[in-house]
């Protein structure tokens, strides 16, 4: 079998890239290790930058996002007893974010692929990128006991942090930068109305909490937990009580509780792989970088990678120019590092660090006091939250 681009991974990165290439007349095959149902069962991001919303529109999958997505002009942030609303619209000259779950984005992209009978192969085992250091790359995979090989021009590793693409590159060919945080996020989804019309990020003495949502009837909440925590340690009743404590009296009195329909723990890390290109293999999305979800940047960074990579491939096939492909890694990393900084800064501000001393606690306090007192500081936060330019 032969195609122009093999994409490894059918998460948002891989499916969005495949869709944009298709619209430009470029053929691709997507190889996904899990079933479509499993991919949809993972509850992840919830906040879209305008750049991602625009890309989904361009990809022809924006209709439900516009119909069901919730525009948010601001959010609340609290440290201890001090609470501040970040007025995104006023601070960024009219920009905002859209609340629309990653699961729904993936569902919309899957439907668009199914409608055109696209080459997305689910439950592909032992996917292996080969020959990408030369001019004749190929990818082998096994399905239902039969081994297949796909010859191609390029391989795009959109297979996430634990994927095969980055691990297929010799260690000496790349450098990783990593910071693992001493806690995780326990997240729940519940069919209850959100506690507020906007998100609330709280740094309470007992730990971080986030009140988010997926719709006016579906809420998404998180609490900071030690890395050793298991979901069994946190029955629903205990989670709701902890959320009421950490989010404060006003939220506690308004909070509607109910059974969780999903409960999971995500570790928090900052991670960057440099470079993102290895011959004819390109890394995009979580395959190349990870941010702590505090800044709502993970999915949005994947989007800007896909913007740069799709434009570069379209230029290559349309104009026979390598310029975009040669510039991809440096261009993507420039925006990645700025989002890494913002996500790290939000994480350091909003979490309890038992291992850090009283001076660091005072730094959090001073950071919050500066935010409250400075429009410039609030503007800096707001312009990063709505998304820096591509
Ligand atoms: P993904 O990991 O989504 O997709 C990669 C795909 O590749 C998967 O479907 C996987 O099955 C497949 N794959 C892996 N190995 C393969 C192989 N060998 N062969 C074939 N396929 C393979 N971001 C936020 O902004 N907010 C959040 O709240 C948030 N919460 C998160 C919680 C968790 C537990 C995780 C892991 C991430 C979270 N993120 C969050 C970040 C998340 O949204 C990612 O940024 C987003 O999923 C990135 O999309 P992809 O790059 O497509 O990677
Ligand atoms: C979510 O709704 O899942 C969400 C929102 C904002 C974040 C992280 C996660 O910063």
DSSP string, 277-339: EETTEEE-GGGTEE--GGGS-HHHHHHHHHHHHHHHHHHHHHH---HHHHHHHHHHHHHHHHH
Q: What is the mean pLDDT of the chain?
A: 97
Closest Cα partner for 160 from 266, 3, 64? Answer: 266
Share of the chain above pLDDT 90, in %: 98
Q: Please, what are the domains in the chain?
A: 5-71+97-178+269-349 (3.50.50.60), 181-267+353-386 (3.30.9.10)
Can you tell me which atom of ligand 1 is nearest the CA of 297?
A: 25
| pLDDT tens-digit series, residues 47-106 | 999 999 999 999 999 999 999 999 999 999 999 889 999 999 999 999 999 999 999 999
> What is the arithmetic mean of pLDDT over 369-383?
98
Whether pLDDT at 301 is above 90: yes
> What is the arithmetic mean of pLDDT over 268-293?
98
Reported pTM: 0.97
Centre of ligand 2 from the C-alpha of residue 46, in Å: 5
Q: What's the Cα-to-Cα distance from 360 to each of 346, 349, 355, 356, rounded to whole Å?
A: 14, 10, 10, 6
Residues with CB under 6 A from ligand 1: 8-14, 31-34, 39, 44-46, 102, 124, 127, 158-160, 163-164, 266, 285-286, 293, 296-299, 302
Share of the chain above pLDDT 70, in %: 100
pLDDT score, position 355: 86
Closest Cα partner for 239 from 292, 189, 183? Answer: 189
User: Which residues are the active-site residues?
Assistant: 72, 201, 293, 297, 385
> What is the arithmetic mean of pLDDT over 292-318?
98
Residue 171 to residue 179: CA distance in whole angstroms:
19
> What is the arithmetic mean of pLDDT over 260-287?
98
| pLDDT tens-digit series, residues 113-137 | 999 999 999 999 999 999 999 999 9
pLDDT score, position 364: 94
How many other CB atoms are there within 10 angstroms of residue 143's CB atom? 15
Whether pLDDT at 354 is above 90: no
Centre of ligand 1 from the C-alpha of residue 359, in Å: 36
> What is the arithmetic mean of pLDDT over 342-361?
94
């Amino acid at each position: 079998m032969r195609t122009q681009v093999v994409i490894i991974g059918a998460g948002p990165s891989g499916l969005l890239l495949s869709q944009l290439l298709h619209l430009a007349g470029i053929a691709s095959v997507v190889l996904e290790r899990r079933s479509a149902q499993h991919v949809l069962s993972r509850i992840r991001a919830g906040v879209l930058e305008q750049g991602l919303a625009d890309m989904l529109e361009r990809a022809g999958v924006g209709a439900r996002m516009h119909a069901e997505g919730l525009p948010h002009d601001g959010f609340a942030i609290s440290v201890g007893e001090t609470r501040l609303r970040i007025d995104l619209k006023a601070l960024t000259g009219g920009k905002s974010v859209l609340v629309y779950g990653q699961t729904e984005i993936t569902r919309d992209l899957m439907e668009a692929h199914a409608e055109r009978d696209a080459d997305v192969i689910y439950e592909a085992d032992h996917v292996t990128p080969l020959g990408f250091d030369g001019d004749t790359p190929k990818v082998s995979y096994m399905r239902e006991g039969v081994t297949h090989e796909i010859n191609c021009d390029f391989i795009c590793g959109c297979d996430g942090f634990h994927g095969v693409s980055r691990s297929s590159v010799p260690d000496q060919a790349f450098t990783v930068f990593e910071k693992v945080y001493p806690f995780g996020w326990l997240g729940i989804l519940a069919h209850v109305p959100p506690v507020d019309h906007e998100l609330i990020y709280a740094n309470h003495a007992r730990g971080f909490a986030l009140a988010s949502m997926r719709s006016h009837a579906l809420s998404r909440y998180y609490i900071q937990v030690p890395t050793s925590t298991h979901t069994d340690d946190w029955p629903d009743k205990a989670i709701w009580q902890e959320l009421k404590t950490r989010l404060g009296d006003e939220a506690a009195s308004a909070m509607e509780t109910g059974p969780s329909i999903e409960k999971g723990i995500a570790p928090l890390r900052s991670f960057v792989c440099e470079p993102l290109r290895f011959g004819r293999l390109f890394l995009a999305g979580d395959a190349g970088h990870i941010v702590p979800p505090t800044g709502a940047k993970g999915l949005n960074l994947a989007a800007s990678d896909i913007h740069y990579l799709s434009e570069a491939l379209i230029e290559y096939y349309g104009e026979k120019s390598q310029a975009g492909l040669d510039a991809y890694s440096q261009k993507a990393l420039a925006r990645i590092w700025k989002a890494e900084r913002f996500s790290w800064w939000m994480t350091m501000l909003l979490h309890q660090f038992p291992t850090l001393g009283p001076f660091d606690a005072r730094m959090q306090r001073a950071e919050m006091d500066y935010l409250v007192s400075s429009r410039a500081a609030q503007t800096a936060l707001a312009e990063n939250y709505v998304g820096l330019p591509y």
